[in-house]
Amino acid sequence: MTAAQRWRREETPMRSAPSPDSYAPRQRRNGYVAAMRAIAARRRPGPVVVFVSAPSYRQDAPDWPQTLAWVATALPGGVVIDTFVDAFSGGCGQYRARWRDYAADLDGLVVFGTRITPCTYRLGPGARSELLTVIGAGRPVLVATSNVGLVPVVDCRPRRTGASDRPCLELTVPDRWSQSAPTVRAALRALTPAGSGGGAPSGPSPWDLNWRA
């Protein structure tokens, strides 16, 4: 069973997190950390590209450049950030035709959803599909949150919602999740360009940015 197939199977509600800071069982968290460390160990010189997926209303907002600046500071130094406009200047037609090939060369994904509760974010059908593509490739996927920064989706509770032909995805972050989680440290290390030194972000704390729901 592939990672994407396992994720689809698990898009069902869970009553509580197996640990205070993750909805993933310990075995899965350990496997995720090991996989991210393997990516870091194989990293060779060259650009590390992360696609930032966000709803159109957020990308059209006046503070979108500030949002991207925050993402840049939350990721390791030297990471190249791509957006829809950067990657698909031809618009939606080009996106539909090229997304799979483009995603095959990505090193990771940061996804913005619509905040529907203090800890839950809803992704539309397009963002859910992007998430499944990058998860299926074994690359780190991080959800941008308004209170704790970038959270690996492995730690979130997934719940599929919406119509069967246009499914959405709700991701719930554990109440006690923090940036000291081993999963996020491993994910950031996997996204660190070769030869750049450490993997810690150098920018402002996540709560320094005023998010909209």
pLDDT given for residue 1 in this prediction: 53
Mean of the per-residue pLDDT values of the chain:
87
**pLDDT exceeds 90 at position 171:** yes
- 54 alpha-carbon distance from chain centroid: 11
**pLDDT exceeds 50 at position 193:** yes
**pLDDT exceeds 70 at position 213:** no
43-97 pLDDT, tens digit per residue, is 999 999 999 999 999 999 999 999 999 999 999 999 999 999 999 999 999 999 9
pLDDT given for residue 20 in this prediction: 73
Residue 93 makes CB contacts below 8 A (sequence gap 6+) with: none
Q: Give the predicted TM-score (pTM) of the model.
A: 0.85
**pLDDT exceeds 70 at position 140:** yes
**pLDDT, greater one: 18 or 134:** 134
**pLDDT exceeds 80 at position 101:** yes
**SS3 annotation, the chain:** CCHHHHHHHCCCCCCCCCECCECCCHHHHHHHHHHHHHHHHHCCCCCCEEEEECCHHHHCCCCHHHHHHHHHHHCCCCCEEECHHHHCCCCHHHHHHHHHHHHHCCCEEEEECEEEECCEEEECHHHHHHHHHHHHCCCCEEEECCCCCEEEHHHCEEEEECCCCCCEEEEECCCCCCCCCHHHHHHHHHCCCCCCCCCCCCCCCHHHCCCCC
**pLDDT exceeds 80 at position 19:** no
Span 14-34, average pLDDT:
81
Q: Is the Cβ–Cβ distance between 79 and 50 less than 8 Å?
A: yes
- Residue 120 one-letter amino acid: T
**pLDDT, greater one: 8 or 178:** 178
Measured between alpha carbons, how far is 84 from 23 in angstroms, rounded to an integer?
Answer: 30
**pLDDT exceeds 60 at position 9:** no
pLDDT given for residue 164 in this prediction: 87
Q: What ranges do the domains of the chain cover? A: 3-36+47-192
pLDDT given for residue 69 in this prediction: 96
